[in-house]
Amino acid sequence: MVSTAPGATALAPDVVVFAANTPNPLIHEFDFVFEQQIATNTAVSVSYIGSLGRNLPIFIDTNLFKPTNTITYTFVNGPDNGQTITAPLFDVPTGTPLRPNPLFGRITTISDSVTSKYNALVLQFNRRMTHGLQFQAFYTYSQTSDTGQSSQTFTSSNNVLNPFDLASKTDGQTSMCGITSVRHWSGSRNFSNIVDG
């Protein structure tokens, strides 16, 4: 805590503060499984897996002038070659100090504004070793989204694209994967095969 603000200098100190009434972060995880035997040593199952994150931390520099301009970047090479992305440009207004509050540099607020969500559907087929044959297969379809969760141990000075528009940090992703495994045992020979889809 700074009891007395320092004078306005080029080397104004940075400070880190918690947002008012910051609660503890919460993550709720849950799953539901339905499994049915369809033959000897053979079963199928359907699972739902979910996770909800609330009050997750993010670090916001609140000592910035509101952006009035934008800057556009163009991707060169790669899968997004030629595509563009436009981001806010944080200019310093002419004739003003470098920061709205010139007594400090970065004023990083630890905010609890991040939420996250994960949903997945898992289909599984399992045949235990029977007559020398074992077979396993599963398929997962999942979707995840968050509003800017920061995966780091220590504070960052600012890890949002635009502190004045936190919705611009929203991210989402959908993925699918499947694995099939077959194992056959005959006498002293063991044959196994795994196919990753």
- pLDDT at residue number 121: 93
Neighbours of 43 (CB within 10 A): 14
| pLDDT confidence of residue 147 | 81
Asked if 197 contacts 180 with a C-beta cutoff of 8 angstroms, the reply is yes
Dist. CA 71–CA 61, nearest whole Å: 20
Q: Write down the domain spans for the chain.
A: 15-64+99-196
- The mean pLDDT value for 90-114 works out to 88
Task: Decide if pLDDT at 10 tops 60.
Answer: no
Q: pTM here?
A: 0.65
Asked which of 25-34, 59-68, 184-193 is least confident by mean pLDDT, the reply is 184-193
Check residues 58 and 31 and name the one with the higher pLDDT. Answer: 31
Average pLDDT value for residue range 137-160: 79
For the ranges 98-102, 114-118, 190-194, the lowest mean pLDDT is seen at 190-194
**pLDDT of 91:** 85
Q: Give the C-alpha separation, 61 to 80, whole Å.
A: 30
Structure tokens at 55: 């009050």
Q: Which residues contact residue 9 at a Cβ distance below 8 angstroms, ignoring those fewer than 6 apart? A: none
Higher pLDDT, 141 or 171: 141
Q: Using 50, 70 and 90 to split pLDDT, how confident is the model at 168?
A: low
